[in-house]
Amino acid sequence: MNVGSEKQYGGLDRFGIIAAILVIAIHTFPLLSISEWADFTLRQTIARVAVPFFFMCTGFFFMQKLGSDRNRNASMLKQLLWKVGKLYLLSILLYFPVNVYEGYFTDGFTLLTAVKDLLFNGTLYHLWYFPGIMLGVCINTFLYTRLSTWNAFWVTLLLYGIGLLGDSYFGLVHFTLVTVLSFVLSVLAMKAIQRFRGGKPDQTGRAWADIHLPHLQHNVREIQQVLPKDCAMMAVVKAQAYGHGGWQIARFLNKLGIDHFAVATIDEGIELRKKGVKGEILVLGYTDERRIRQIARFKLTQTVVDDEYAQTLNGYNVKIPVHIKIDTGMGRLGESWEYTEKIAAMYRYKHLQVCGTFTHLSVADSLEASDIAYTKNQIDRFQNVIEQLKEKGINPQKLHVQSSYGVLNYGELQYDYARMGIALYGMLSKQGDKVKTSIDLRPVLSLKARVVQVKQVEKGAPVGYGRAHTAQKDSKIAIVSIGYADGVPRMLSQVGATCLIRGKRRPIIGFVCMDQLIVDISDIEEVQRGEVVTFIGRDQEEEITAEEMAQSCKTITNELVSRLGERVKRVYHD
C-alpha cells in the first residue's frame, strides 16, 4: 500500500520533467534558427540550471537520511557510492563503442592513453555527472556532518570560487546569472516540497489521518522507561504500522535510535528496506521458501516456524539470519514446545544463522487469575525449552516473549527484546483495559473527513441505504466524505456511534456507505460544506478515542486502525 507519501515530493517530480527537457535543449540547439541570442539564453543560461537541480535532489534525498551515528552515515555513504559507481561502470561499458567511434582508444593507443581515455577524456565527457555525484556527496557529507552550517557555507563559497577560477569558458556575468537562477529555482523547489509535506493543514483533503509524531516519540520514551535495562524495543510495524504508514513510522523510529523492527510479511520488509530503514527487520509470518534469495538480498530476518521449514530453507544454500519460533500455547505459528528434539534440530543448519528465539503469549492482556496462570505456564514452557537447548550446548541467542500487554502486565520478565505494537501507537486494544504498569500513552493517529453537503430532510423521510434511518422530525443532515472502504465500519451507525463537528458529538445515521456517511446535525446552527469531521481524535473539548470507536463496533483498536483504507491520506506532523 502506498500511503501517499511519494506525493509529498510531487513538486520535485514536475521540476524533474522540466529539468530533463532543459537537458535535452542543451544538446539540441532548438532556438538557434531563431536567433543566436535566444539560443544562448536558453541553452547556456536557463537550461544550465537543470544540472544543479538534479544534484540538489540527490543531496536532498541523501542528506535527510544522515544522522548523528557516524558508522551509519559512513555505511550509507558507502552504499550510495557503490550504487552510483555500479551505474557509472555500466554506463562506461555502454559508451565504449561511442568512444571508440570518436577515436578514443584507437589513435596512438598505449596503456596510458587507454586508461586516460577510459577515466577522463571520452568517458568523462559523456558521463561526468556520475563521478560528479560521487564526489559531491562525499564533500557534502563531510560538510554536513563535520562542520557547522556557517562554516559549511564558507567552504562552499570557497569551492565555488575555485570552480569559477578554473573555468575560463564562462564569463563572470554569465556565471552569476546561472547561479542566481539555480538558487531561485532551488528555493521554489524547497517551497514546493514544504507545501507537499505534512504540517500545514490540507484544505482539500477528503478523508485523512493526522499522524502526530511527537506523540509517537513520547510513547517510545514512556515504554523505554518501563523496559528492563538490557531490553531493546522491537517496534512492530506490520500492516503499515497499524495503519500509521509503515516506512514513515519506521524511519522516524530509526531517528530515535530504534533498530529492531518486526513486520508480518516479506513484502512489508522489502518496502521498509527500499525506503532506507536500518536495523534488523524480523518477518514474523511465514515466507514461501522460494523467496529466500530476497530475504538475503534485503537483509531480512526470517521466522522459522518448524523443523521441516528449516530443512527446506537450508536446502537452498543461501545464508540467512533467522529467529526460531516456539509455540508455547498460543496455538499458532511455531514448533510446539513439547518437541525439544525437533526444536534443537532447527539450530544446527549450516545456512540458517540463528539470531533469536521467541514465543507469543495469548492472554497477556487479561488479569483474570486463570489467564495469569496460563501465561505463567507459557513462560515456564519457554524457559524450559531454553534450558534444554543450553544443556545440549545450543545458544538460543536473543530471546523475546512479550508484546505490548506482555510488557504492561509482566514487566518483571527479563528478555532481550520486547515486541511493541499497539502501545507504541498510543492505544490499548480495548477500552477500560486494566494493566499492571500503566503508562502515559498518547494516541498518535486521528481520523478526519469533511462535510461535503448539508441538507434538510422532512419528518418521516428515509435516509440512506435500506431506509435504515427515518427522520423523527424535520432535521438537518450532513453528508461526510468517508465510508467503510476507508475503514469506518459499516455498522457504526447502528450502535449509536457519534463523530465530532464543531467540538460536539453528532450521531451517525443510516448505514455507513462505501465512500460516505450521513450525520444528523439538526441542533447545530451553521455547518458549512468543507468543515472538518473527527471520527478518532480531539475536537475542542470533546474526544473520541480509537478505543471507544472499537468498542462501539465490538472489535479491538488493532483491527480498527490497521484497516484504515488506502484512500485515507496520512498526514505527518512533526
Q: Which is nearer to ligand PLP, 422 or 544 (CB)?
A: 422
Q: Active-site residue among 104, 129, 238, 278?
A: 238
Instruction: Give the range of 178-186, 191-199, 414-422, 441-449 binding ligand PLP by CB under 6 A.
Output: 414-422
- 335 φ/ψ angles, rounded to the nearest 5 degrees: -75, 135
- Cα distances (angstroms) measured from residue 127 to each of 15, 493, 512: 22, 62, 58
Active-site annotation holds for 238: yes
Q: Residue 409, interface with ligand PLP (CB under 6 A)?
A: no
Q: Which is nearer to ligand PLP, 266 or 423 (CB)?
A: 423
- If one counts every other C-beta atom within 10 angstroms of the C-beta of residue 418, the result is 28
Grouping H, G, I as helix, E, B as strand and the rest as coil, residue 320 is strand
Q: Smallest gap, in angstroms, from Cβ of residue 546 to ligand PLP?
A: 13
Site residues for ligand PLP, 67-96, by CB under 6 A, read: none
Nearest Cα to Cα of residue 533 among 98, 542, 359: 542
Q: Which is nearer to ligand PLP, 216 or 236 (CB)?
A: 236
- 77 φ/ψ angles, rounded to the nearest 5 degrees: -65, -45
Torsion of CA 256, 260, 263, 266, to 10 degrees: 120
508 vs 133: CA distance, rounded Å: 56
When binding is defined by CB under 6 A, the residue of 240, 294, 375, 404 that contacts ligand PLP is 404
Site residues for ligand PLP, 552-571, by CB under 6 A, read: 558
Instruction: Give the range of 11-19, 191-199, 421-429, 467-475 binding ligand PLP by CB under 6 A.
Output: 421-429
CB 324, CB 357: distance < 8 Å: yes
When binding is defined by CB under 6 A, the residue of 248, 403, 446, 551 that contacts ligand PLP is 403
For every residue of 492-527, which 3-state class applies, written as one string?
A: HHHHCCEEEECCEEEEEECCCCCCCEEEECCCCCCC
Q: Residue 245, interface with ligand PLP (CB under 6 A)?
A: no
CB 516, CB 479: distance < 8 Å: yes
- If one counts every other C-beta atom within 10 angstroms of the C-beta of residue 499, the result is 27
Q: Smallest gap, in angstroms, from Cβ of residue 210 to ligand PLP?
A: 21
> Which contiguous run of DSSP H or E holds residue 537?
strand 532-539
When binding is defined by CB under 6 A, the residue of 422, 521, 561, 568 that contacts ligand PLP is 422
Q: Smallest gap, in angstroms, from Cβ of residue 426 to ligand PLP?
A: 12
State the alpha helices, DSSP H only, in 208-367: 213-226, 238-243, 246-255, 266-274, 292-297, 307-314, 340-345
Please give the size of the binding site for ligand PLP, defined by CB under 6 A. Answer: 13
Q: Smallest gap, in angstroms, from Cβ of residue 523 to ligand PLP?
A: 39
Instruction: Give the range of 37-45, 146-154, 415-423, 531-539 binding ligand PLP by CB under 6 A.
Output: 415-423
Q: Residue 323, interface with ligand PLP (CB under 6 A)?
A: no
When binding is defined by CB under 6 A, the residue of 236, 250, 277, 326 that contacts ligand PLP is 236
The response to whether 332 counts as a known ligand-binding position is yes
Q: Smallest gap, in angstroms, from Cβ of residue 294 to ligand PLP?
A: 21
Give me the residues that bind ligand PLP (CB under 6 A), please: 236, 238, 284, 360, 403-405, 419-423, 558
Positions annotated as catalytic residues are 238, 465
